[in-house]
Chains A and B, each alone.
Chain A
């Protein structure tokens, strides 16, 4: 209970961390901005490094410089990527839960023409075309237009969501590429680097851009957390939310607006195409580790932050490698690790549980087979004697392969349920015999229950009983007995039920 209440305060923690990060970088930034910003802005220059054919590996000194954010420019780039990661992780969690991943992708693509138009407008007005605030404004307007187009197509025509998304994604991206082509031909403009918004590349960053992107990330994260309850309801049960008077359409638009915000501030470092991976992968990875939304959002923010920080740092060390791609590689690695190794939802854990269940089922089949052989060899089904039997008798009992049977026999021998005689004869041990009686009894109880209560044709019973009987717990067995005694006493049973009192293993 304590842990839960702590986790429920996570929003406060994240907000405090974000604000702290922001303030620290602001104060440090001012101290250095005069001395260092000019000197270092040439530092990792991706334009020049593209011509090189070899990757230059960083020295240890360079690594510590980047790790401790000693370089002013690196500091701006890395911290803004980290803030972006936190915002993307939080906003993305709800985008994922709303099952709107593809719509987010379409939204990201639809910002491209906005960037191009903003550039053209700024150049025509005689300004510097690559001013980030202007480009962000253009991208935002285009993103909102793309969103409205999608909603309009969905709500006014009989076309479905996927058509609307595919249409907006491809048409606006194509249009954006055409505009970029036109920009290249504009005589007065130097458009070099504008395409980098498509793939993302952390070049040098000026202080204004840093404050803008980090500030928007902070606002997006805070806004999402403030609406935690409302977004949860929207994602889980939209129609219930609507009946309770919540403006679901506006909440939807707001959520996608926050996605747009993350997209436009991420276009510098991650790029328009890859940003969706940065939004979706952290929460998808976090989902593997937890069943609580609040924990998932917290984890998602952490994964996003780590990816942003690591990706941007590595890119600062090895300028040939673009930050956007590196960030996505880091996120995807975390996702893959989560998918395989997460304790309850991970693939390994699941297949391990399935394997154990399969083994248990096999062993129980063997014991039941053995018990049925003994039963057939006894004169009286009330008094089944524990005699020895042959492997061939067991083999005939079910359609199992010889090798498989040998493996199960070996397993049961190691559990001391089965003893192999010198001449190859098998016999159940005392505990094995008790266990076999218990399993057989459960199996038949379950069979009778299905026949009498579940309206299942008797020919189908054996298979279904096989699946469930292995997980019957003591409490359920008692309820079955009571139920059958109350209601099914007069109904003839398919087989006899071995009396439960005669074996001591029932209690275990």
Chain B
């Protein structure tokens, strides 16, 4: 929960400041049960990156750890060569849709304008400039006509577009998205992927936690296969192989899992 204050002491010299996301030796544990083990990752700039793995593989945790939402047991994360706490202005985040209460009394425009709060700073109110930016983001995702609607009246796909619009209003270089395609209609999925490709063309980097293996090679040009540790990471064409998928989803990691579980039992 609390942003890690010791980030400055991390040794980040090993990754250059041209790399949007570099993860080194990252281990994360919930209540002593490891969720991520020794993760090493370098994401080149301007890629559309899919993060794929079975349930409980730690995909969301990886994103949250990069954003300092989950404390690290060990390891470092660098955003363009610096700790996240210094690079917030370069990052936008789309949380899972279910993580918020959609009966909250705000309008779609209010929600999207939250993407401008950090630039506004303490105490200052949302003004015309911020509303314009929010409106522009809404137009980009194709739901400008819903701006005044209360968020509880949105469909699942519209909710996801609203979240995406908020991330666009953050105006970042790197986009972290947690399952943006979960339970949305086909039209929304197409619209979202079109926006991701547009961001990609502008040289932005997008990291997307994804579930549907059928669309992986169509959507992403870079792929990270994750199951507690990195199984493979690289261009989708090279990484998206039957063998790698078996390693990710098959039972070959059961020994590691058992060991982790045994460890958790001992230290509890």
Contact = CB atoms under 8 A, between A and B. Distances in A.
Interface stretch (B51-59, B93-101, B231-239, B241-249): B93-101
Interface in B1-20: 1-3
B88 interface: yes
Nearest to A1: B148
B117 A233 contact: yes
Contacts of B106: 232, 236, 292-293
A219 B105 CA distance: 25
A337 interface: no
Nearest to B170: A244
A287 B122 CA distance: 26
A243 B69 contact: yes
B114 A243 contact: no
B48 interface: no
A99 B101 CA distance: 10
B120 A239 contact: no
B67 interface: yes
B76 interface: no
Interface residues of B, number: 35
B147 to A, nearest CB: 11
B99 to A, nearest CB: 7
B31 interface: yes
A41 interface: no
Interface string B25-51: 000000100000000000000000000
B105 A249 contact: no
B3 A290 contact: no
A143 B120 CA distance: 33
Contact of A242 (B1, B105, B107): B1
A490 B31 CA distance: 56
Contact of B68 (A226, A242, A287): A242
Nearest to B93: A243
B118 interface: yes
B85 interface: yes
B93 A290 contact: no
B30 to A, nearest CB: 10
Nearest to A93: B105
A236 B108 CA distance: 13
Contact of A158 (B31, B104, B110): B31
Nearest to B111: A236
A240 B114 contact: yes
Given A158-B31, A242-B3, A293-B106, A236 B126 contact: no
Contacts of A158: 31
A249 B64 contact: no
A236 B88 contact: no
Contacts of A242: 1, 3, 67-69
Contacts of A245: 3, 85, 88, 118
B120 A97 contact: no
Q: Size band of the A side of the interface? A: 20 to 34
Given A236-B114, A291-B150, A229 B1 contact: no
A239 B69 contact: yes
Contact of A292 (B107, B117, B166): B107
A97 B101 CA distance: 10
Nearest to A287: B105
Nearest to B92: A243
Nearest to A244: B118
A11 B91 CA distance: 32
B125 interface: yes
Interface string A287-318: 10011110010000000000000000000000
B100 A243 contact: no
Contacts of B111: 236
Contact of B117 (A155, A226, A244, A290): A244
Contact of A237 (B64, B85, B88, B100): B100
Contacts of A292: 105-107, 150
A295 to B, nearest CB: 8
Interface in A105-130: none
A230 B2 CA distance: 16
Contact of B104 (A155, A236, A239, A243): A236
Contacts of B69: 239, 242-243
A227 interface: yes
Contacts of A248: 1
A235 interface: yes
Interface in A221-269: 226-230, 232-233, 235-237, 239-240, 242-246, 248-249
Interface string B111-147: 1001001101011111000000000000000000000
Given A230-B122, A245-B85, A248-B1, A239 B64 contact: yes
A249 B101 CA distance: 19
A412 B150 CA distance: 36
Interface in B154-170: 166, 170
A360 B67 CA distance: 51
A278 B8 CA distance: 45
Select the residue from A8, A226, A242, A287 with max chain B CB neighbours within 10 A: A242
A232 B101 CA distance: 12
A346 to B, nearest CB: 15
Given A229-B125, A242-B1, A243-B67, A290 B85 contact: no
Nearest to B114: A233
A226 B124 CA distance: 9
Contacts of B107: 291-292
A236 B101 contact: yes
A183 B117 CA distance: 51
A106 to B, nearest CB: 20
A227 B101 CA distance: 21
Nearest to B167: A240
Contact of B99 (A97, A228, A239): A239
Contacts of A8: 125
25 contacts: A97-B104, A155-B1, A229-B117, A229-B120, A229-B123, A232-B114, A233-B114, A235-B104, A236-B104, A237-B100, A239-B64, A239-B69, A239-B99, A240-B93, A240-B166, A242-B3, A243-B69, A245-B3, A245-B85, A245-B118, A287-B105, A290-B105, A291-B105, A292-B106, A293-B105
Given A8-B125, A233-B117, A237-B114, 11 more contacts: A99-B101, A232-B114, A236-B100, A236-B106, A236-B111, A242-B67, A242-B69, A243-B91, A249-B2, A292-B107, A293-B106
Interface of B: 1-3, 31, 64, 67-69, 85, 88, 91, 93, 95, 99-101, 104-107, 110-111, 114, 117-118, 120, 122-126, 150, 152, 166, 170
Interface of A: 8, 97, 99, 155, 158, 226-230, 232-233, 235-237, 239-240, 242-246, 248-249, 287, 290-293, 296
- The list of the 3 closest CB pairs from A to B, nearest first, reads A291-B150, A244-B118, A243-B67
